[in-house]
Structure 1
Amino acid sequence: MTKRGMVAAGAALVGGVPVAAWGLMGQQNYDGLPASELDYAFQPWDIGDGVAAVAGGLALVLAAAGAAVLVRGTLRGAMDGRWWGVLGPLVVLGLMLGVGWRILTAGGIGANIGAGLLIMLGTPVAAGLLLWALALALWLLVERRGHGSGGDMGGISSRGV
């Protein structure tokens, strides 16, 4: 498989997970009152539950196909296995985004405590996952470039020497 194919499969995996989580989880409103009488931290999108479930199911299939291509590429040597250290945190971040959006838009009576906790506790975790993925991706790109440009410097890129 080509590099473009691996990148496309990674994009399908990372992009499909938040949509799948959001769509398949469904709106998390308080039971017993109509939606017009509930309080919202953030107003949910005006998308029906059926449409969201179909979008979530399609995204799940897309993410599973992307994961299958990536696993196959890793086993065949077309993808360096260290890239899973980038993809894993991005998948967890996507799952947090999909579920988090449902928590933020849940209708309830009074304050949405889950939304406050998500913002206070989830934001630093999400930032950490994103920074980890970006730093590792950058390191993998620089480290790979360093191998083809000269002598072995013990794992340090020789481009700056």
Structure 2
Amino acid sequence: MAERAESRHPTKSPEALARWGLAVVAAALVIAVPVATWWLVGDQSTVPVSVNPDYTFKPFDVTPRTQRTAGVASAVLTIVALLMLARATRRKHLDPQWWRVLIPLLVAGLIVGYGWRVMTAGVIGANIGAGLVVLFAGPVVAALLIWSLAYSIYVLHHRRAARLTCESRGT
């Protein structure tokens, strides 16, 4: 009787809870990668602040200590999350197809982290790098996000169809 109740509520099963945990780890990874990249790239200004540089976007007023703390924390989180997801994939707790969703999101995060540093660089005159980021990186990031969204819908639909097929067979 208890087995039948669990089959009616698949979100309460240990496997479902583990999947949600992996989803949280993946989301943390996607958030941590741009921050880690931003920190690792560092300030790209070509002139000191004392010269009163021009900015495409003024960088956030963040102390060096806060930058270091956010950077180290996000770099550690990135490494730990990657290891956890790789281990879950190896143990067959994470469908390898999800990496086709995750990797484009991570590449987009790398581009965004680096692009933000370029766009907030202090320069004299025009920031040509910022224009190039908008012109080239913007469409690439958009394409990567669209790919990830579309492929995640495909994986979820495919998984649901497979589950319905198994249920109709009685397995």
The residue number in structure 1 matching 2:110 is: 95
Structure 1, unaligned runs of 5 or more: 152-161
What pairs up with 1:23-34 in 2 under 5 angstroms? 23-31=39-47, 33-34=48-49
Could you tell me which of 142, 145, 161 is aligned with 2:157? 142
**Does residue 39 in structure 1 map to residue 54 in structure 2?**
yes
Structure 2, unaligned runs of 5 or more: 1-14, 167-171
1: CA distance, partners of 2:91 / 2:30:
21
Q: In the TM superposition, what is the alpha-carbon distance from 1:34 to its structure 2 partner?
A: 2.8
Please say which structure displays the higher CA radius of gyration: 2
Q: In the TM superposition, what is the alpha-carbon distance from 1:9 to its structure 2 partner?
A: 1.3
RMSD (CA atoms): 1.4
The residue number in structure 2 matching 1:119 is: 134
Could you tell me which of 78, 85, 89 is aligned with 2:93? 78
2: CA distance, partners of 1:77 / 1:69:
12
* Amino acid in structure 1 at the alignment position of 2:63: G
Q: In the TM superposition, what is the alpha-carbon distance from 1:28 to its structure 2 partner?
A: 1.4
Q: In the TM superposition, what is the alpha-carbon distance from 1:51 to its structure 2 partner?
A: 1.8
Deviation digits for residues 75-130 of structure 1, max 9, x if unmatched? 00000001000000000001111111110000001000000010011111001100
Across the two proteins, how many residue pairs are aligned to each other? Answer: 150
Q: TM-score, structure 2 length as denominator?
A: 0.83
1: CA distance, partners of 2:113 / 2:64:
15
Q: TM-score, structure 1 length as denominator?
A: 0.88
